[in-house]
Amino acid sequence: MASQQELTDARNERFLALLKPVDTDCQRWAYSLTQDKEDADDVYAQSVLIGLEHIHQLKNEAAFKTWMFRIIANVHRLMIRQRKRQPDPLEQEKLDRVAPASEDWTEQTHLRAMVKRLLEMLSPDQRQALVLFEQHGLSIREVSTVMGKRETAVRVLLHRARQRMAELLKKEGIESMLPSEGS
């Protein structure tokens, strides 16, 4: 019979084996939600602890990435709720430490900053669906699982997000950079 320590070690090894191939994607997802490296690191660390604690509830190992994305999204939502109750007095200090942008930006950096700014103009659900689908490559089904919405609702969110981004890009004088609906 296996000891408690052996069971814990096996659980930890299973979790780490599943996490390793999706680790970077999970960290990027945390950053795309928070838009702040320190917050993303906090959300990611908390999510890993929760995932490790609840790995026994994962029924399908093939769905591990989606499962972790859902945990990360839930931890992020909890962080936002907690901040609404208690504003961070150090937030201004954080803003003061940010160095001004260099005048020598490349065109790609400029476009990336513009797309990021335009994404902020989408509703939170539209932005989340679009980033999960386009940037992280999740399927409609996986996005619906992460967001806790029906697949039909995700399709509508993606359609509206693409339409809005196309409008915003056109206003910026750039033809749509997003893939067409059929791709």
Residue with tokens 């476009």: 111
Please tell me the predicted confidence (pLDDT) of residue 107: 63
Please tell me the predicted confidence (pLDDT) of residue 92: 46
Range of the domain at 2: 1-88
Q: Is there a single domain that holds both residue 182 and residue 153? A: yes
Which domain CATH number covers 29? Answer: 1.10.1740.10
Q: Is there a single domain that holds both residue 130 and residue 78? A: no
What is the total count of domains within the chain? 2
Q: Is there a single domain that holds both residue 82 and residue 111? A: no
pLDDT tens readout for residues 52-110: 999 999 999 999 999 999 999 999 988 888 877 765 555 545 444 444 444 444 666 67
Give the residue from 60, 88, 116 where a domain finishes: 88
CA dihedral 111, 114, 120, 121 (to 10 degrees): -120
Distance of CA 85 to CAs 74, 92, 95, Å?
17, 17, 20
pTM of the model: 0.64
More confident residue, 137 or 22: 22
Q: Does 97 fall in a domain?
A: no
Measured CA to CA, the distance from residue 99 to residue 91 in angstroms comes to 15
Average pLDDT over residues 103-125: 75
Q: Does 94 fall in a domain?
A: no
Q: Is there a single domain that holds both residue 114 and residue 172? A: yes
pLDDT tens readout for residues 82-94: 877 765 555 545 4
Which domain CATH number covers 146? Answer: 1.10.10.10
